[in-house]
Structure 1
Amino acid sequence: MNNQRSFFFNVDWVTVLIYLCLCTIGWFNIHAAVFDDNHPSIFDFSTSAGHQFIFIMSGLVIGTFILLLESRFLSALSPALYVVTILLLILVLVVGRGVGGNQAWIDLGGGFKLQPSEFAKFATCLLLARYLSATNVKVTDPKSFLIAGAIILLPMVLIKMQPDDGSTLVFCSLIFVLYREGLSSYFLIIGGLLIALFVSSLVFNAASVVAAVVIAAVLVVLIVKRNRPLVLKVIIGALVAIGFVFAVKPLYNKGLKKHQRDRIDIVLGLSQDKKHVGYNQNQAKIAIGSGRVWGKGYLQGTQTKYSFVPAQSTDFIFCTVGEEWGFAGSVVVMGLYLFLVLRIIHIAERQRAPFSRIYGYGVASIIFCHVIINIAMAIGVMPVIGIPLPFISYGGSSLWSFTILLFILLKLDSNRMGVIYA
């Protein structure tokens, strides 16, 4: 009895409450996105809303099962879980079903499909946490860094082959886990500068970007001229940056498909959308903007009701929130996500075991990345790459994988006071 009471009070119920709120918001908005006068009930199991209710209920069963597990098993099973997801990612390339141009689904029959890339996220976080928490493993050591990078890179390569660019991009967020564990901030700075150079090289001509790099390098050299090693690094960095600038256009033209380049060009204002490549995004912005401050009211969204926005119950579910609940409702949803991510970081920092802390940062990084990309895509500041909004978008694979991702952390946290060693 005491163990049961201890278990009950040790679970972070604040996080569970946020999870339930987001799932409920998702369920209601999915019903609005697919609403049909012939199927008006939100409990109609022939509709996407009915399916989502089943996913939510089964997700709660999965979450409860995880909370009842012995927490030591989570670390012990992480290599096996990782191997299974890698095998599934290989299998989907052979027998996978194409949806939206991506061969990312395994058909289970009865209208249900499994997306292995979603489950690869928590499996990768678990194995990464296990490896980085091992004795004598330091992310600052080149060998340890390369192994940690390989753990992240392997599922990324397989997912890119589907090709699922959105899920591939999400794995890049795990760099923040490495940063928390001691990776130099120079890696983040260099990554940010490369992104800025990439975008600048697309928007401006190469000569202008090179001139800006040279001017910036000269100014830095003048400031730190007494530090010769640093001056040398700046000069080498400037030369690498200049080489990167000239490589951007060839990489851009050969590395991305035409429809991907068209989407990026439209977002950056490099071309007009004469071929309606940005139709989805334009309709999404119209839907969100038409909601104004308080929204049009539940089930009253015209963009939603008449299916102007494709994939509105999945990738563009935030449009339904914006149109029917307005700016106020959008702020509430974004506030819940912000609270959730901050709560997860708080949970991660209070862990005694490095394994639990590292895993917690993996959870925060993946959820944060999903939210930022999905909302940025919906409001038109990022190109469309297709990525679900955690706990809100329609889909069993997405909801179950995020549930597992979160509830594993809740299980580890509930047992933190009993941890004696890592």
Structure 2
Amino acid sequence: MRLTEKGILKNIDWWLVASYIVLVFIGIVNIYASIHSTEVSSVFDPAGRSGKQFIWSIISIACAGLILFVINPRIYEGLSLPIYIGTVALLIAVIFLGTEVKGSRSWFELGPARFQPAELSKIATSLFLATVMSQFGFRIGRARDFISVAAIILVPMLIIIAQSETGSALVYAGFIFVLYREGLSGWLIFLAGMFIALFIITLTVSSYAAILALAVIVSLCDAAYTGSIRHWLKIYLPAFAALAGIPFLLDWLGSLTDNSEAVIKKIEPLYVLLAAGALAVPFILYKAYRTRKMFTLLAVGAFVLGIVLSFSTEFIFENVLQDHQRQRIEVLLGMKEDPTGVGYNVNQSMIAIGSGGLLGKGYLHGTQTTYGFVPEQSTDFIFCTVGEEWGFVGTTAVILIYVFLIGRIIIQAEGSREAFTRIYGYCVASCIFMHLFINIGMTIGLMPVIGIPLPFVSYGGSSLLAFTIMLFIFIALKSNENHNFT
């Protein structure tokens, strides 16, 4: 039974609503600050970005009202599959029918407005994940169930990558927090993080260093899990120390002769390492099989997979990633410097944030902001506007509001009596967290520039509307649940 308006108002989590309103307000005033000297003189002028964002905020609040007072929250679970299928169809259609913007064909033009299906796909994926994972008998540890949820996440993610929207696709990695909450082994998350580190070490140092580091970590984890740390210290540690010295030994031996054709100068350290691994792995596998140590077998499998990834890194980097993505990663990892090219945005953003000091330069008094030194300052780099004009205090306040919002969603989700609401709540929190982490990371040079908006704050109607719908669906689900159990 749908609640009366009085019952709905009573059960709404007003802390979440207040956090939302504050963030939207912060977004509008800072969007105006980023363009006031070049576009318009009034924050509400519809010709400027701040005025357009204000209009979108009214539309978003109207949608929030429909979600809270008109739409029955019980329909979401039943409609999650058709919503998901429809969104995937839109993601495919936009590749062929959409408008190309900055090298990415991911936008539909609807008259004066533009719409990005990738924003809605996060809502659809969250709803469908919650539906599938809340079914009776679902177990994330069972292969069939894990494959089903992995497919739900990967299908839209891969399509978005095909649109050249790597940033939007990266947000889907946040769903791993949802899977972990519902029982996914922490070892799998650790493994994913290890492979990312392996990719970075291979690019910045060498395959030799990456594979040796992988062997150390995998063997140490296996020793910790099987209770054989002493054995690891006695056998493995000296072996790894010896292998670490191989490149230096070969260099020294090579320096003893001037003959460029000497065999010692042609020996690659990596081949020595692989030969040592080829000798050790069969022995380790045989011993693990005899002693029924399944974790050791899995560890060896992870090690072999890591070797394949390390050897694939150069191919992926050179042939899969696009030029601008490759350049941004190179600048981020310090492989090259380009302060006037790819690194320009980040450098100017960091200058803006740093120049704000403790209390900032004052509203509408930011020089980096006023004179337009930071491109995309009202969208992807809106956080540097806050940093320059409101200083450390202002940026800390904004981050704390996000922390409160995400924390409140998680607390409400944990207190839910219905699995669907709990899982959906974690999906919402994960999406907001990933956007927050990546966006702020971009502005301070800790993440590559991949075009991720700051939720509720960055300029962009489709982003604001999508996050509003996502958040208020959760608020409506909790409001309805609170009424049913009071």
Query: Structure 1 pair 302/242, CA: closer, same or farther in 2 (3 Å)?
Result: same
Identity of matched residues, %: 44
Q: Distance in 1 between matches of 2:129 and 2:40?
A: 45
- Structure 2 spans left out of the alignment, 5+ residues: 232-287
Aligned residue type for 2:20: Y
The equivalent of 2:84 in structure 1 is 82
The amino acid across from 2:355 in the alignment is: S
Within a 5 Å distance, the mapping from 1:312-327 to structure 2 comes to: 312-327=377-392
Which SS does the other structure have where 2:106 is aligned? Answer: strand
User: Contact (CA 8 Å) 1:353, 1:419: kept in 2 or not?
Assistant: no
| 1:300 maps onto 2:365 in alignment | yes
CA shift, 1:418, in A, is 4.7
User: CA 1:326 to 1:345, structure 2 compared with 1: closer, same or farther past 3 Å?
Assistant: same
Change (3 A) 1:105 1:31: same
Q: Any idea what SS the aligned residue of 1:113 has? A: strand
Tell me which residue corresponds to 1:377.
Answer: 442
2:260 corresponding residue in structure 1: none
Deviation at 1:353, TM superposition (A): 0.8
**Mean alpha-carbon deviation: is it higher for 47-56 or for 221-230?**
221-230
Q: Is the 8 A contact 1:287 1:303 kept in 2?
A: yes
Indicate the residue corresponding to 1:195 in structure 2.
196
Q: Is the 8 A contact 2:7 2:483 kept in 1?
A: no
Give the C-alpha shift of residue 54 in structure 1: 0.5
Name whichever of 295-304 and 68-77 sits farther off.
Answer: 68-77
TM-score (norm 1): 0.95
**SS of 1:70 mapped into structure 2:** coil
Could you say which residue in structure 1 is the equivalent of 2:272? none
Task: Find the counterpart in structure 2 of residue 284 from structure 1.
Answer: 349
Are 1:25 and 2:26 matched, yes or no? yes
Give the 3-state SS of the residue equivalent to 2:45 in structure 1.
Answer: coil
Q: CA deviation at 1:182?
A: 1.2
Q: Aligned equivalents of 2:215 and 2:172: distance in 1?
A: 33
1:340 offset after TM fit, Å?
0.5
Alignment partner, residue 205 of structure 1: 206
> Which deviates further from its counterpart, 244-253 or 90-99?
244-253
The CA deviation at 1:222 is 5.7
Structure 1 CA distance for aligned equivalents of residues 87 and 129 of structure 2:
14
1:52-67 alignment runs, 5 A limit: 52-67=53-68
Residue 202 of structure 1: CA displacement?
A: 1.3
1:191-236 per-residue CA deviation (whole Å, 9 max, x = no partner) reads 1111111111111122222233334455556664488413343333
- Taking a change above 3 Å as real, the CA distance of residues 236 and 171 of structure 1, as seen in their structure-2 partners, is closer
Compute the displacement of 1:148 (Å): 1.1
Range with greater deviation from structure 2 (376-385 or 77-86): 77-86
Count of residue correspondences = 419
**Normalising by the residue count of structure 2, what TM-score does the alignment of the two structures yield?**
0.83
C-alpha distance in structure 2 between counterparts of 1:264 and 1:57, whole Å: 38
Residue 104 of structure 2, aligned match among 92, 99, 102: 102
CA displacement 1:12-36 (0-9 Å, x = unmatched): 0000000000000000000011113
- 1:21-65 superposed Cα distances (whole Å, 9 cap, x missing partner): 000000000001111377211111111111011011111110011
Q: Structure 1's 301 and 251: CA in aligned 2 closer, same or farther, altered over 3 A?
A: same
Instruction: Please say if residues 344 and 364 of structure 1, whose CA atoms lie closer than 8 Å, have aligned partners that are also in contact.
Output: yes
Change (3 A) 1:10 1:220: closer
Distance 1:399 1:219, change over 3 A: closer
Aligned to 1:401: 466
Kept in 2, the 8 Å contact 1:352–1:419? The answer is: no
Q: Secondary structure at the match of 1:77?
A: helix
Contact 1:374–1:389 (8 Å) recurs in 2: yes
Alignment-mate amino acid for residue 4 of structure 1: E
Letter in structure 2 aligned against 1:333: V
1:351 to 1:113, Cα distance in 2 relative to 1, 3 A: same
Equivalent pair of 2:337/2:343 in contact (CA under 8 Å): no
Q: 1:362 — aligned with what?
A: 427
Kindly tell me: are residues 218 and 367 of structure 1, through their superposed partners in 2, closer, same or farther at Cα, counting changes over 3 Å?
closer
Q: Distance in 2 between matches of 1:222 and 1:398?
A: 46
SS in 2 for 1:7: helix
Q: Return the letter of the residue paired with 2:50.
A: A
Q: Report the AA paired with residue 85 of structure 2.
A: V
SS in 2 for 1:415: helix
When Rg is computed on C-alpha atoms for both structures, the one with the higher figure is 2
Which residue number in structure 2 is paired with residue 349 of structure 1? 414
List per-residue Cα deviations over 1:358-381 (Å, max 9, x = no partner): 100000000000000000001111
In the alignment, which residue of structure 1 is the partner of 2:270?
Answer: none
The counterpart of 2:302, out of the listed 214, 237, 260, is: 237
Q: Is the 8 A contact 2:24 2:57 kept in 1?
A: yes
Moved more, 285-294 or 329-338: 285-294
Q: Secondary structure at the match of 1:104?
A: strand
Pair 186,8 (structure 1): closer, same or farther in 2 beyond 3 Å: same
